[in-house]
Amino acid sequence: MNRRKKIKLKTVLFHFLFWISVWFFFYYFFSYNSSDTVYITTFSSCLLPITMMVTYFLVYFLIPKYLLTKRYFLFGLYSFYTLVFSSYIIALVIYGCLIFLLSFNVAVMPPMSKNFFFILVLVFLVSGVVSFITLLNHNFTTLSKNKELQNKILETQLQLKEQELHYLKMQIHPHFLFNTLNTIYGFALKQSLQTPEIILRLSNLLDYILYQVNKPRVILKEEVLHIKEYIELEKIRFKDTLKVIFISDEIDENIQIAPMLLIPFVENAFKHGSLVDGFLHIEINVRVKNNCLNFLVRNTSSEYEANQKGGIGLENVRKRLELNYKTNYNLDIARRERWFLAELNISNLNFQKK
């Protein structure tokens, strides 16, 4: 409440000082070639309320009600009425001061106060300047509000995307864990001696995931090592029925990527891949050149429908690619003869959608 009172007090004080300045402005002009201070003071004091009336009528009624609402015809019409009415009042002031202060002696009348059109221009000059400043202030306020609204909208959109991205990242844990626990369960049923080794490798993978998945970017080289660790885990499960070809360029340690973006393609190859001639063939190729990634995974397959669905993992990846790289990536998933392939290209690994 005190703050509102202070603002109102400042506004009233500003208006008071402004109109005092306008009065001195009138006094200065009408005192040209005249020493009749009584007449000039009275005439300026009578002219000031007319100027105030015209100004406030324009600023607080005509402009907001008609000009800003684009009702230009009514604005022009009422402005004309204002001009006529104010001209009539100014004429009355001129003749009133001439009669009551100078007894109709035009000869001693200050020269600047004789010119009706000059006085009219002077009044509307003040009103016009105030109206112009008001319109500028309105435009500036509108632009500021629009900018603030845009920033709030962008901030809200960013928060929603961050929440969606966080939700997608949270899905990585259960999805990966579900696939690997199925493997452990199968080995446990067989009472395999390799079960402890699988659990150990799973522990290493989960340790990596827990520390990396919540980061916006991770080192690509570490992601590749993580894929290799996962392949070693799957080799235990498939034993002699698996043939994997893994080719990777030497990757600069400064190159980064969104976490856990590549592993779902590898998981999908093992999950939906089919044995052909007694073997599951999987080929993985990682190439990085000029900060551009080409990641290719293909596996032998005889069940197109199964591969086409892709499960939660690939759907998750699509959404995360859209959130992280927008139009900066290309994902091609297709079946060619006995092979099912997924190829991901990211043209600029440094790009991050805002």
pLDDT confidence bin for 165, thresholds 50/70/90: very low
- pLDDT at residue 221 is higher than 80: yes
Would you state the pLDDT for residue 313? Answer: 63
**Quick one: what percent of the chain has pLDDT higher than 70?**
83
- pLDDT at residue 305 is higher than 50: no
- pLDDT at residue 312 is higher than 80: no
- Its pTM stands at 0.51
Q: pLDDT per residue over 93-145, tens digit each?
A: 999 998 888 888 888 888 888 889 989 999 999 999 999 998 998 888 888 88
- The residue ranking higher by pLDDT, 171 or 110, is 110
Would you state the pLDDT for residue 107? Answer: 81
Q: pLDDT per residue over 240-253, tens digit each?
A: 888 999 999 888 88
Check if the beta carbon of residue 221 is closer than 8 Å to that of residue 203: no
Angstrom distance (rounded) from CA 29 to CA 23: 10
